[in-house]
């Protein structure tokens, strides 16, 4: 049986507890965000995952963030956005409990998993916003949307992606979050035209 490329983060008790703390939202300023209830899971080669990142950060930090979601969770948010008429960025914040002071949340990374990874999965904890103009607003993660925390993608001493990140995550596409649904519609129209032309 294959061993996850980041298994060492789970084998060492001290490091494991540290990662559980990060995934649970515990930091130097107390608890903010994170996921709960927390379970262990695996991402397998070939799976597609998404991350909503921040245009204010360099690509090295966006791609090496531990926070991702499986494709079915992201597509569920997209579908809910189309049905409700609520913008995708707004619905993402609501479904994943992402406060405005967490970042711009305006770019989307689509990645393919290229090596077996062990991860933590769970729903977003409630978060109180601390940004100007929204201070005190509480964000509640949707029960049906599972978020994923992947230990080992970033060297937090340097801020750069680790060997694990380069070997296990392949960035397929990058979009502005506001453009994603319209881009996919355009692709679907092109595919439909090609299929009809072949009939």
pLDDT value for 195: 46
Answer left, alpha or beta for residue 66, where phi above 0 means left and psi between -120 and 50 means alpha: alpha
pLDDT value for 28: 57
First-to-last C-alpha distance (Å) of the chain? 46
The CB density around residue 48, as the number of other CB atoms within 10 Å, is: 15
CA distances from 141 to 37, 58, 60, 166 (A): 12, 26, 27, 29
pLDDT value for 186: 61
pLDDT value for 115: 99
Residue among 155, 157, 153, 173 nearest 165 (CA): 153
What's the gap between Cα 148 and its chain centre? 6
Whether residue 149 contacts residue 119, with contact meaning beta carbons closer than 8 Å, is answered with: yes
For the chain (length 199 residues), average pLDDT per consecutive 10?
Answer: 96 97 82 92 98 97 98 95 94 96 97 99 95 92 96 94 98 94 68 52
pLDDT value for 27: 73
Answer left, alpha or beta for residue 152, where phi above 0 means left and psi between -120 and 50 means alpha: left
* Cα separation, 132 vs 79, whole angstroms: 30
pLDDT value for 124: 95
pLDDT value for 1: 76
- Within 8 A by CB and 6+ apart from 83, the residues are none
pLDDT value for 58: 96
Helix, strand, or coil (residue 136): coil
Phi, psi of 143 (to 5 degrees): -60, -35
């Amino acid at each position: 049986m294959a061993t996850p490329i980041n298994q060492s983060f789970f084998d060492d008790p001290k490091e494991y507890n540290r990662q559980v703390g990060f995934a649970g939202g515990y930091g130097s300023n107390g608890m903010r965000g994170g996921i709960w209830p927390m379970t262990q899971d695996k991402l397998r080669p070939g799976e597609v995952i998404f991350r909503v990142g921040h245009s204010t950060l360099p690509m090295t930090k966006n791609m090496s963030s531990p926070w991702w979601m499986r494709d079915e969770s992201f597509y569920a948010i997209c579908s809910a956005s189309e049905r409700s008429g609520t913008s995708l960025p707004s619905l993402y914040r609501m479904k994943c409990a992402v406060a405005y002071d967490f970042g711009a949340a305006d770019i989307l990374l689509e990645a393919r998993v290229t090596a077996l990874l062990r991860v933590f999965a769970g729903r977003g904890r409630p978060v109180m916003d601390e940004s100007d103009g929204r201070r005190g607003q509480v964000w509640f993660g949707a029960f049906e949307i599972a978020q994923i925390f992947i230990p080992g993608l970033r060297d937090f001493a340097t801020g750069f992606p680790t060997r694990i990140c380069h070997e296990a995550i392949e960035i397929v596409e990058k979009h502005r979050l506001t453009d994603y649904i319209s881009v996919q519609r355009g692709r679907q129209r092109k595919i439909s035209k090609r299929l009809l032309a072949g009939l």
